[in-house]
Copies of this chain bind each other. A is one copy, B any other.
Amino acid sequence: MKPIEYADATDAVRAVYDDIKRTRGVPDVNNFWKVLAHHPESLRRTWESLKVVMGPGSIDPVAKEMIYLAVSITNGCTYCIRSHEAAARKAGMTPAQHGELLAIVGMANETNSLATGYQVPVDAAFLER
């Protein structure tokens, strides 16, 4: 789907673009938002949700971005990996942390398939919560 540029957008779409730019302090929004703009309701709703979820909270910003990136890698979503790797770096992820993050994601995918393949019974201790 072709991205919709600011100049070609409706007022409702521009209002979301403006809020993204203000919130993030960036001169333009990414293609993700410009494509979502084909369905303005999804654009508005997704941005409102993302602003809350990725905004200030009890997990620090770089860890939040690394968690987002870990999910994106596991799903094999190229766009998401590229954009959230950039976001994680901007938030402060160092090259060493990036290398460790990928090692954890790789290891988790390996042990996940081992646990599934062996059909490991859940330990009684993990059921109490």
CB neighbours (8 Å) of A12 from chain B are: none
- Copies of this chain assembled into the complex: 6
Verify A108–B80 contact, CB threshold 8 A. Answer: yes
Let me know if A23 is at the binding interface, CB within 8 A. no
DSSP class of A's interface residues: helix, strand, loop or mixed?
A: helix
Verify A77–B115 contact, CB threshold 8 A. Answer: yes
19 contacts between A and B (CB under 8 A): A38-B95, A41-B52, A41-B99, A46-B110, A58-B96, A63-B63, A63-B66, A64-B104, A71-B74, A75-B108, A75-B116, A79-B120, A79-B122, A80-B112, A81-B117, A85-B129, A105-B113, A105-B117, A110-B110
Residue of A84, A96, A106 with most chain B CB atoms under a 10 A cut-off: A106
- Given the known interface contacts A50-B107, A109-B71, the answer about A121 and B31 at a Cβ–Cβ threshold of 8 Å is yes
Verify B129–A1 contact, CB threshold 8 A. Answer: yes
- Given the known interface contacts A111-B46, A117-B105, the answer about A126 and B83 at a Cβ–Cβ threshold of 8 Å is yes
CB neighbours (8 Å) of A79 from chain B are: 115-116, 120-122
